[in-house]
Structure 1
Amino acid sequence: MPAITHRIIATALSLGLTVPSAQALTVRTAGEPETVTSWQRDACARSDAPDTPARAFRDAGGTVHLVASHSIARALTGPSLDAVRPNCAIIFQGHGQDDPRLHDDRGWISSFYTADGKTVHALVSNEFHAQKRPALCPSGEYMRCWRNSITAAVSTDGGASFQLSAAPPGHTVATLPYPYSGDAGQRTGYFAPSNIIRHGDHWYAFFWAERFRAQKRGACLLRTDDIADPQAWRGWDGKSFSVRFVRDGQEGDAPETHTCAPVAPGMLQGTVRSVVRHRTSGLFIATLAMSRDGVSGIWTTTSRDLLSWSKPDLLWAAPLLFRYGCGDAAAFDYPALLDPASQSRNFEDAGKTAYVYMTRLNLDKCKITWNRDLIRLPVEIITDKP
């Protein structure tokens, strides 16, 4: 795509405008799933199971780090995405703090971005597990008292270890503008950030918002021009990136001004697990695990501007983490598109072929256990010219 076209699109996005797609893409399977890691064979500890979408980056020495881990995070490392192997060193974990205002209980490090392979910035999905604090959650029920937020971490050693990017709660990126009130009867907050992708002069990431008071349910989009500053991220409000997130009702103005507007709610009906740019067309491809039109599985959708998205296409029908039957041998989730031949240090782009990495949750008597495998499904990406 000509550079001038990219500049026009970037300008339109900065103004909050949408740009219709001139091309369409078809993503289709190109083989059978293959196992990357097996929990029974490769786990470094009982809880060492893939519980986030796979993310990858190259450090300054050329080593690829692939992270698809749990709250005690470890990476797979190797000379290429095709040759990563389990590394049992712990790279990150939350600090289990009892005060929900600190946003530092259990953290799933979920998103990474590095410009030089030395300093690596990351987003974390922080879960406050109040069911472990009876004074805050008398019911003791996980889902009724769960509050989630998005926080930031950083590595200065090429991804070998991560620390919070500021002393809590200064590392908070996005949280509801309402104080934590214990048993809300449902999970609340902001969940599961996608990978971070650079577009124009900004970095972007999706996250999932649950409905709570003024906050609507759906896929919200974050943007920043300073990835090193957790407070610099802004949310989409339906017209522009003007939502400034505040912590727990700390300011007295209208809380609805500090909630985000879901993007393309008719299309992005599930958590956006990954976003990459197709090298030939320039289109963004998002992957989601969701049920649509009565079919559960892995879906893809495309966009020119990260705001307007095409009608999702079913890539692979499968039972999902929250939609499976007792007759199923496994459930699936966390689909993320990665191209081993990506030209980006952060695997932000994909060519004609790639893989959809995902977690296979092996069911035991209809229950989810630690027995989970990281698998990848080969796909091909075809440009449908107008």
Structure 2
Amino acid sequence: MKNFVFHNPTKIVFGRGTIPKIGEEIKNAGIRKMLFLYGGGSIKKNGVYDQVVDSLKKHGIEWVEVSGVKPNPVLSKVHEAVEVAKKEKVEAVLGVGGGSVVDSAKAVAAGALYEGDIWDAFIGKYQIEKSLPIFDVLTISATGTEMNGNAVITNEKTKEKYGVSSKALYPKVSIIDPSVQFTLPKEQTVYGAVDAISHILEYYFDGSSPEISNEIAEGTIRTIMKMTERLIEKPDDYEARANLAWSATIALNGTMAVGRRGGEWACHRIEHSLSALYDIAHGAGLAIVFPAWMKYVYRNNPKQFERFAKRIFGLEGEGEELILKGIEAFKNWLKKVGAPVSLKDAGIPEEDIDKIVDNVMLLVEKNLKPKGASLGRIKVLEREDVCEILKLAAK
């Protein structure tokens, strides 16, 4: 097990009926005026908006609103919200919605204290060391952004989808009421689950194998799979929603990283090019990329892939035969819950592979290299490797 420091400063308020606590949490932080950021209006249909507004009013918090954040959040909306935040002299940012809204809130909170274009942080020209305080009310469990310092934004003009990480981007308080997710479309539940599983697998396959971290990872993956199947049958199963919600949070709050090498992250970065170019759901793109990547790199970490097959799917045997059965079992589960498992399933033509690879390699140059990072860990991927993985994912 590698040495580690574990510190997560985010306060989580979890459970049914917790949304009205947001005003109290903001007031206790000494905030008097804030930017309220949200998406396309679903929070007005499901009652979340009214709960938040009533709580802000009750606790004397002033706010200005910016709405219209897209599922793959774009830079232009961040720019719009930063301008409002600066003009209105807000003291904090509140994101109410899914991971896209919370990621946008983080970018806005950092951008409000930066004189330049906050996109600089995503291309290695600026290191985020300060931001306005960030609060959120989560309505979709998937990305784990509610309890980490990460944010991903798409520059829609250049088709670049890049991430940034900073200690300054951890939310102060995140509220998670699983019951507000009862009305989510099946696809959003499934893609959120796939995203959460993928976060765990990025650590699980990074070339490390601490027993406690393996056990936590495997138990959480099995829980996510079971809860997803239950929710497909009964979307208002509170216990299933609650277990899935907390699983998605701990998937990327540092718990899975303990004692490991920092994570693999090749699949996420390849997927960022898919959703940047084709605007598909992030979880859908991960369902396409992950099995193909697994098939391409398993020889670089065979023991862990054997363990995956045994512990997640209860398969028996050993060696390559067992590994390939495990990968196929994972792919079959993704199909079973309704996720696409090929470029073809997502309507992406195989002839576009070169264009996708170009976009991935641009990410390597502009987003990874400035941070001293590479594409992959157990196998550092070059252009031809990405091309082969996408060919495996094509059909």
TM range (shorter): under 0.3
**What's the TM-score, normalizing by structure 1?**
0.27
**What's the TM-score, normalizing by structure 2?**
0.27
Higher strand share: 1
Higher helix share: 2
